[in-house]
């Protein structure tokens, strides 16, 4: 059974309003609407004293493309994202610390990009990234409190589309509640394949 709390419901509602708003906005714009699918892998690393080496994960999702003109689009990329980070043993003995090991964090992330098309196959993108942790109850600190934040976070993302290939860099802050790591952030590099359906 899927457990949906109020924070997750608010995030999903915000994403729906954003998409509906962009559909309404498109009538005053260029009028082109597109949809695509994407899949790929990622490498993630969290900053801060509690974290260590890079770890690999994956993401899959879709593209909603709203054409502004022949050179610019707004692109929304709702995705399921498995982010894996390595926790070292620096905080393992502290009450607000976390034991050593790799943690798999499952996110729903929704970046909203301004996309500039230089050619039909080459574009650059930049924008905000809303992300929400889906398995916030999976990992606990030594004192029994949740180790990672469940509240919707806003980060930023940059990207390149090159034909069927895409590259993304994402960063989002305050992802955890581990002692001395309130300002820690996750850096993620994504590489994958995309296909536009219409």
CA 25 to chain centre: 24
Contact between 180 and 195 (Cβ < 8 Å): no
For the chain, 198 residues long, give each residue's pLDDT as a single digit of tens.
344 565 555 555 555 555 555 555 544 444 589 999 999 999 999 988 889 889 999 999 999 999 999 899 999 999 999 999 999 988 888 888 899 999 999 999 999 999 999 999 999 999 999 999 999 889 999 999 889 888 888 999 999 999 999 999 999 887 888 887 767 899 999 999 999 998
Phi, psi of 139 (to 5 degrees): -125, 135
Q: What share of the chain is helix, strand, coil (3-state, %, to 5)?
A: 10, 55, 35
Contact between 129 and 158 (Cβ < 8 Å): no
Give CA separation, 85 vs 15, 21, 153, 186, in Å.
26, 35, 17, 9
Please identify, in words, the CATH class of the domain defined by 6-196.
mainly beta
Tokens for 109, please give them: 């992330």
Residue ranges of domains in the chain? 6-196
CA 175 to chain centre: 12
Contact between 82 and 120 (Cβ < 8 Å): no
pTM above 0.75, yes or no: yes
């Amino acid at each position: 059974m899927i457990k949906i709390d109020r924070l997750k419901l608010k995030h999903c509602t915000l994403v729906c309003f954003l998409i509906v708003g962009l559909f309404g906005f498109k009538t005053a714009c260029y009028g082109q609407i597109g949809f695509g699918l994407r899949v790929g892998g990622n490498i993630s690393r969290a900053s801060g004293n509690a974290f260590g080496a890079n770890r690999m994960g994956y993401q899959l999702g879709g593209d909603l493309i709203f054409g502004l003109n022949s050179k610019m689009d707004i692109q929304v990329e709702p995705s399921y994202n498995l982010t894996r980070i390595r926790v070292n043993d620096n905080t393992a003995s502290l009450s607000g610390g976390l034991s050593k090991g790799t943690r798999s964090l499952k996110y729903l992330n929704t970046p909203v990009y301004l996309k500039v098309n230089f050619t039909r196959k080459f574009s650059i993108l930049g924008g905000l990234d809303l992300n929400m942790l889906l398995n916030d109850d999976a990992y606990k600190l030594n004192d029994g409190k949740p180790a990672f934040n469940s509240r919707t976070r806003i980060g930023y993302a940059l990207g390149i589309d090159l034909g069927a290939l895409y590259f993304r860099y994402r960063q989002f802050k305050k992802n955890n509640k581990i002692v001395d790591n309130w300002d820690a952030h996750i850096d993620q590099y994504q590489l994958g394949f995309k296909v536009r359906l219409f």
